[in-house]
Amino acid sequence: MTAAGGTTVHLVLTAPDLPGDTGETGLQDKSGALLPGRTAPGRTTRYELDVPLRTTAGGSDFSGPYVHGTRGGRFLYLSRRDPSGPGWARRCKIMLPDGPPAGGGTLYATVTDTGGSRAELTEDGWTAEEPGR
């Protein structure tokens, strides 16, 4: 996909509900704001966002407010605010592929476990085809 000012990748992520207490949950940007998802079948939530791509001498790379980490180790944070005060009740990293697809497009992933600090994806990881299609 090409947005004003450059190419983007549309990410579609399906994740099980985070374990623990209730609270505001979503993909966390660098300022701490959360992008909520939409409830999906099977006690899951579907998150969708467009991620800008940055072209450097080393090639194309994920960028933007929701992308954390350094090149080759980029990730999204799936986070839940602590309902009793400031801070996070739960955060887990969802690792992005080492590099984005050439020319943008859409990537899909399904999280199978959010119990640790790093979420686990299905065996396929990030794919260009929607799971189950």
Is the separation of the CB atoms in 68 and 61 below 8 Å?
no
Percent of the chain with pLDDT over 70: 90
DSSP state of 96: P
129 within domain boundaries: no
- Does residue 106 belong to any structural domain of this protein? yes
Query: Which residues, including other chains, have CB under 8 Å from residue 41's CB and lie 6 or more apart?
Result: none
Tens of pLDDT, residues 17-67: 766 657 788 999 999 999 999 988 888 899 999 999 988 887 889 999 999
Residue 127: inside a domain = no
| Residue 118 domain flag | no
| Residue 12 located in a structural domain | yes
Q: Does the residue 68 lie in any domain?
A: yes
pTM, 2 dp: 0.86
For residue 131, tell me if it sits in a domain: no
Residue 102 pLDDT: 77
How many structural domains is the chain composed of? 1
Range of the domain at 7: 2-113
Identify the CATH number of the domain in which residue 37 sits. Answer: 2.60.40
What is the model's pLDDT at position 130? 65
126 inside domain: no
Contact at 8 Å (CB) between 18 and 92?
A: yes
Q: Mean pLDDT for the chain?
A: 86
